[in-house]
């Protein structure tokens, strides 16, 4: 019996809690998945900066008609010539090649917002810093020894690490606790954060496009229950008249 309880308790542990990285501080993404304009902007950044390596293979381009883009707009701005609107957001790179180049294959990002949590991704994309010991010259506070290059470096610039000394069993170790501004990029920090927020909004949207639908449906379900309750109450009163 105890085992059964433990199993149930374990099954209920939220996934985001498990996946968020250790004791690293995460900045709140503060996204609004109902903001179509943010999703549209995020989609554009995703296609331009991320789809060289990452797919979102469970999403079809056509899905973006649900956030206010026309099929022509999607074809013109987000797709290669010759693609079909019903195509999935896949990439040409082979996972085996990618693993060779980056040490790890770039994972599909359709569900990453659910697996890692939006705060984690928001913090991750803003936490690259200069580290000459790494193959691409960068490292990441929330993803130490990451295989991904800082693909947004031109926009963000290159931050510097902030070290803190930690004593563990008599040994003093230097640990990266955060970042500070280094070489500036094309965007101001506020503009960069806003761009990343849109990108995260897009990823949250594709990870669960039905969630808005579910919210709308939820309201009808609640209304139905209220009406049902009133009817049941009236019936009960009616019947009780005959009981006495």
Our finding on whether 113 is near ligand HEC (CB under 6 A) is: no
Nearer to ligand HEC, 143 or 229 (CB): 143
- Count of residues that bind ligand HEC according to CB under 6 A: 22
Our finding on whether 78 is near ligand HEC (CB under 6 A) is: no
Q: Report how far Cα 52 is from the mean position of its chain's Cα atoms.
A: 18
- Using the contact rule CB under 6 A, the part of the chain among 3-11, 120-128, 157-165, 182-190 near ligand HEC is 120-128
Our finding on whether 117 is near ligand HEC (CB under 6 A) is: no
Mention every residue, 6+ apart, whose C-beta is less than 8 A from residue 60: 85, 86, 87, 88, 89
* Residue 227, Cβ density class (10 Å: 0-12 exposed, 13-18 middle, ≥19 buried): exposed
Our finding on whether 144 is near ligand HEC (CB under 6 A) is: no
Nearest distance from C-beta of residue 71 to ligand HEC, angstroms: 24
Nearer to ligand HEC, 104 or 230 (CB): 104
Contact between 24 and 142 under an 8 Å Cβ cutoff? The reply is yes
Nearest-angstrom CA–CA distance, 148 and 105: 9
Nearest to 25 by CA among 149, 132, 162: 162
Binding footprint of ligand HEC on the chain (CB under 6 A): 49-50, 52-54, 102, 104, 106-107, 109, 112, 116, 121, 124-125, 146-149, 151-152, 199
């Amino acid at each position: 019996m105890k085992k059964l309880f433990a199993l149930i308790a374990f099954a209920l542990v939220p996934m985001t809690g498990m996946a968020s990285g250790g004791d690293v501080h995460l900045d709140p993404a503060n996204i609004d998945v109902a903001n179509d304009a943010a999703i549209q902007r995020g989609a554009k950044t995703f296609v331009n900066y991320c789809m060289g390596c990452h797919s979102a293979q469970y999403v079809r381009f056509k899905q973006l008609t649900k956030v206010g883009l026309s099929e022509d707009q999607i074809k013109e701005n987000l797709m290669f010539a010759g693609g079909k609107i019903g195509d999935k957001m896949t990439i040409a790179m082979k996972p085996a090649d990618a693993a060779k180049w980056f040490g790890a294959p770039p994972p599909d990002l359709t569900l990453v917002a659910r697996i890692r949590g939006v705060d984690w991704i928001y913090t991750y994309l803003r936490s690259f810093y200069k580290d000459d010991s790494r193959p691409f010259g960068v490292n990441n506070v929330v993803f130490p020894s990451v295989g991904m290059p800082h693909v947004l470096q031109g926009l963000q610039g290159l931050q510097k690490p902030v070290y803190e000394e930690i004593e563990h069993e008599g040994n003093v170790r230097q640990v990266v606790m955060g970042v500070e501004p280094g070489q500036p990029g094309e965007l101001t920090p506020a503009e960069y954060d806003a761009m990343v927020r849109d990108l995260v909004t897009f990823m949250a949207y594709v990870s669960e496009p039905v969630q808005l639908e579910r919210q709308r449906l939820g309201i009808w379900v609640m209304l139905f229950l209220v009406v049902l309750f009133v009817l049941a109450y009236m019936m009960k009163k009616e019947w009780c008249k005959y009981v006495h």
